[in-house]
Amino acid sequence: GGEVVGFLKLSWKDAQTEPDYPDAMELQRIYLRVKYQGHHLGRQIMDFAMQEAKKSGVPRVWLGVWKHNYPAQKIYGRYGFKRVSQHTFMVGDDPQTDFILMKDMTEED
């Protein structure tokens, strides 16, 4: 119906938020409006991202996820993402930690 229900941002090379993975694609800002969650639209977003990674030929895809976002970590695990690192950043005076998760695209069919 023309309504935006979600979005994501894909970044390569210098556009990535971390310089540690120049040969990879970063998957970031994955959002889905609450009223559309539970309708398998998140799966469509992730499938699209993985197709774009395959098209671009990157060997790895990575993302950051807040260490307390257990539902998202579980979903990413289903897609083959594994924790490889973490980084801490400040939100005001509050240190926040994101886990860095990586998926090896060379293991894909």
* pLDDT tens per residue across span 35-88: 888 888 888 899 999 999 999 999 999 999 999 999 889 989 999 999 999 999
pTM: 0.87
User: Nearest CA to 100 among 67, 53, 60, 58?
Assistant: 67
Task: Give how far Cα 30 sits from Cα of 17, 64, 109, Å.
Answer: 15, 11, 24
What single-letter DSSP state applies at residue 18? -
Question: Which pLDDT value is given to residue 40?
Answer: 83
The structural domains of the chain, with segments of one domain joined by +, span: 6-107
User: Nearest CA to 75 among 42, 36, 37?
Assistant: 42
CATH topology of domain 6-107: Aminopeptidase (3.40.630)
